[in-house]
Amino acid sequence: MSKQLITFFLLFFITQVVMGQSTTSVSGYIIDEDNLSLAGASVYFKGLENRGTISATDGKFLMVNIPAGDYQLHISYLGFETFEKNVELIEGQNLDLGNIILKGNFILGDEVVILGSSQRGQAKSLSQQKNSGNIINVISSDQVGKFPDANIGDAMKRVPGITMQYDMGEARFGLIRGTPAELSSVTINGERVPSAEGETRAVQLDLIPADMIQSIEVSKAVTPDMDADAIGGSANLVLRSAPVDTRISGTLGVGYNALSELPVYNGGIVIGDRLFNDKLGIVVSGSYQNNQLGAHNYEAEWSKNEDKENELYPEAFEIRKYDVQRIRQSVSANLDYKLGDNSKIFFTSMYNHRDDKENRFKLKYDDIEYDTESGTYTSKLKRESKGGTNGKPNDSRRLERQQAYNFTLGGDHLIKNLVKLTWSGTLAKASEERPNERYSVWEQKGVTIMNDPTNTRTPNINAYGAEYDYANFEFKEYTEEFQYTEEMDKNARLDLEIPLNESKNKSILKVGGRYRGKEKMRNNSFIEYDYADGFVGPQTLAETDLSNETPNNWMAGDYKVGNFQSKNQLGAYDFTNTSQFVGEDKPDEYLAGNYNANENITAGYAMIKQSIGTKWLFIAGVRVENTRVNYTGNKVVLDENGDYDPTTSGITKGENNYTNILPSLHARYNLSENSILRFAYTNTLARPRYYDLVPYQEINREDNEIAVGNPELKATVAQNFDLMFEHYMKNLGLVSGGVYYKSMSNFIYDFYERDVEVNGNVYDLYKQARNGDNAYLYGVEIAFQRQLDFLPGVLKNLSFYGNYTYSVSEMSGFDSENGEGRSEATPLPGTVPHTFNTSLSYGTDKLSVRVSFHYTSSYIDELGDEAFYDRYYDNQMFLDANASYFINDKFSVFAEANNLLNTPLRYYQGASDLTMQAEYYGPRYNLGLKFDLMK
């Protein structure tokens, strides 16, 4: 049957349903005493409990197809008084009940408990989670404020089963339920966020400030009306909606970074109101963060000395110091306009801008080799300064500028008091630019070094003082890079929700379609500079403007980084002055990484929401997604001397087209009013990483190696099974536990093989991303939170929060040399075995104090060409603390402390004592003022 015929019958059916019925609808907005919306409230008429609904993110509820008659409206919300109201419904009427205010009180025993401001965020999150049709975790903006989290990633790490990878001490990439970051999705109001990364689809969560969103919804089992690229899960960032009345709130803060020993500044503001007789709602928010960060670091690449009983030694060892200024700016403007009863159009927008200005100073022991005759190790010593041009925008530093925007225009309409129609169009873009990224390299060859094989955790490597003999470091090169990556999304969607019957068992049909057009490109360049003939520049490092970069508070072991060419001297060079410098384009450094891509995704779905009495809710349906990709890359050939060969290099092209049919079933059974059992069977996918699809060829005839892209890669697909129990306590507590299982096929891995023939040439090493056979992942997830109100006296103000996730994975069918020497149960890279969160807080009407702990166990991050070269992400332990005091109902002061344990970012190679990287960031502190002004 053709698509046109299916569309005709669907439209004909909808028309008959709409034209053939005259029904009654009831709507309204549920808010709290502060005029803030309450999402996830349970709304129903007594006697028609099966016809109930829940309130949306803006607090609105809508019930359709209700028979005429007299009823009692019932609205319940965790932590709030139940609302009841007698209502008369007239046939064909659209009854708008306006704003319904719920009071933040609940009865515990014989005592009426007043819900404090610190508890309202918890109530909102638990209510949304409780009343959802699928397995979901929710963090409200109020709840985000209870933790000292600067960006979205730091806030998400509090969710059960979520682990973060870090950069400069801030959470960057999210791993949901033990899966790599590229196996999950991040959306804003349901629209996929483009990635500024050139290699992967993973979204940098540290780009978005935590105070810019209304809530975070992490769906661990997606429904058919959601995008299917969410094997791990989908994190939806819900932007703020307009309040029901004038509201101005904000934050002002100042802090201190213990490593950089410099101040940090942050501030944010939210302004919202409804105008023109409440027809137009508007909310504008902005955020600014200026963080002076840094890192102290050492790194190693380990090998075995076959001439000395396989003694371990580093082929390369580095000591690094980073100075970073991270400026994060964000603005959002969201509007909605009521066209009439239950009909509105809306516009949402968000713009994020982050500048990372970085200097890096690196001492490297390179090409370490063992001399069998002398019995000693020798090395090249290199000193490298990293920076940028003087003046704006680089300010003598490497500038990494990331920008992202998301604009959506859409509408929500009720047709004939019966059919809900939702539509939207979205334009989104993310980009990363690195202009004038400069390096100066100074080298000393043939240096004898000492290697201590007994200490591989903090390697004892030294050159007997030669590393600080700056007069012997000779000029090697200056380089300048220009990097630019962008991704543009043009999306459209249409959804229809149609009630099917008026019996005691509610049935709703929901159908829809979406289009997502993606354009991705990366355009980098690399130029190497030498002194021009006749120009006398510094020949040794000692002749440069030296700066001592060893700080007094060095945190990364017993090392000192020493002196380097200053960032200002490097930034002052005019490389365009041909009388001083001569440049050489180096395509071998960048050309294979450049590409252009087009990806078009069309999808359609149909699903049924079926209630059976008040106990059962089923969501069953199917989603179909078609993906078309078209990639253009480059063939780069280096000749026998290692030089770029333009005669055999050129453009390459590749394309692919595939369709995925993805059925799913969700079931929710209400064991009691506050106890729920959930089951989900879903099918999801993860499309290959961008660069893996590029049909590039990188041929190095000097080393006799070849690396190629693979445009024929298939998407990884997964069958997911989830079972979850939840019990919600009246005192805003929760006990939950569940299990999950994921069976994946076509997982993607890096294929390595030696002595491979390609086009008549036998290469020593062949590399390509390929599909493996099967992988599976299973886990257990438990969570508990409650106020310890059973304790005596002031101790009853204590609250506990904790969750734990255990995950196991295994993969098979990767036919490659990187499978040699491994056990049969090789984990899927990115699978985190253990994740644990806990916090203990004390709260009164005025004071709130919280101490939080986060633990993640070590896991394989990347497979090497054999098990010895596998890279592991080491365990992480973070201790944070924060406190706030309410001066009155409008103003409060707060104090925050992050990373009190000074936990490093650490990778190790093969075995836990073989450190590949250890990077320290130091604790951070913040003080500030919050205000909340209401009309």
For every residue of 20-75, DSSP letters joined together read T---EEEEEEEE-TTS-B-TT-EEEETT-GGG-EE--TTSEEEEEEEPSEEEEEEE
| Structure confidence at residue 826 (pLDDT) | 83
Residue 309, SS3? coil
Specify the residue for token string 């991705």.
Answer: 520
Nearby residues of 484 by Cβ (< 8 Å), 6 or more positions away: 431, 432, 433, 434, 522, 523, 524
Distance, in Å, from the CA atom of 642 to the CA atom of 540, rounded to the nearest integer, reads 27
> Measuring CA to CA, which residue among 353, 342, 354, 244 is closest to residue 293?
354
Residue 161 pLDDT greater than 90, yes or no? no
CB 692 within 8 A of CB 748: yes
Q: What percent of the chain has pLDDT over 70?
A: 93
Class of domain 247-934: mainly beta
Tell me the two tokens of residue 424. Answer: 């939207």
pLDDT band for position 360 (cuts 50, 70, 90): very high
Q: Helix (H, G, I), strand (E, B), or coil: what is residue 664?
A: strand
Cβ 633 vs Cβ 695: under 8 Å:
yes
CA distance 610 to 841: 41
Give the pLDDT score at 18: 47
Distance CA 590, CA 664 (A): 43
What integer pLDDT is reported at residue 338 of this predicted model? 93
Tell me the average pLDDT across 318-334: 95
Domain 134-239 is found in CATH 2.170.130.10: yes
Contact 291, 358 (CB under 8 A): no
Q: Which residue has the tokens 């409060």?
A: 892
Percent of the chain with pLDDT over 90: 61
pLDDT at 196: 87
pLDDT of residue 19: 46
Tokens found for residue 176: 């949901």
Query: What is the average pLDDT across 567-591?
Result: 96
For the segment 169-218, what is each residue's pLDDT rounded down to a tens digit?
Answer: 888 888 888 788 888 888 988 898 898 888 888 888 888 887 788 888 89
Where does 25-115 sit in CATH, by number? Answer: 2.60.40.1120
Amino acid type, 747: F
Contact 279/335 with Cβ under 8 angstroms? Answer: no
753 pLDDT band (50/70/90 cuts)? confident
pLDDT tens, 7-61? 444 544 554 444 445 568 888 889 888 778 888 888 988 888 777 888 888 888 8
pLDDT tier at 145 (50, 70, 90 boundaries)?
low
Give the pLDDT score at 4.
44
Instruction: Decide if 388 contacts 437 (C-beta within 8 A).
Output: yes
Work out the average pLDDT over 231-248.
88
Q: pLDDT (tens digit, 9 = 90+) per residue, 845-880?
A: 889 899 999 999 999 998 887 889 999 999 999 999
Q: Per-residue pLDDT for 606 more than 70?
A: yes
150-154, 364-368, 475-479, 728-732: least confidently modelled range: 150-154
Return the pLDDT at 332: 94
Is the predicted pLDDT of residue 127 greater than 50, yes or no?
Answer: yes
Tokens of 562: 């020493």
Establish whether the linkage from the previous residue to 393 is cis, with ω within 30° of 0.
yes
Flag whether pLDDT at 262 surpasses 80: yes
DSSP characters for 466-487?
GGG-GGG-EEEEEEEEEEEEEE
| Residue 510 host element (H or E) | strand 507-522
Which tens digits make up the pLDDT trace of 419-440? 999 999 999 999 999 999 999 9
Q: What span, in angstroms and rounded, lies between the C-alpha atoms of 611 and 65?
A: 15
The alpha carbon torsion through 467, 473, 477, 478 (nearest 10 deg) reads: 70
pTM of the predicted model, to two decimals?
0.90
What is the predicted pLDDT for the residue at 15?
A: 47
Give the start-to-end residue ranges of the domains of the chain.
Answer: 25-115, 134-239, 247-934
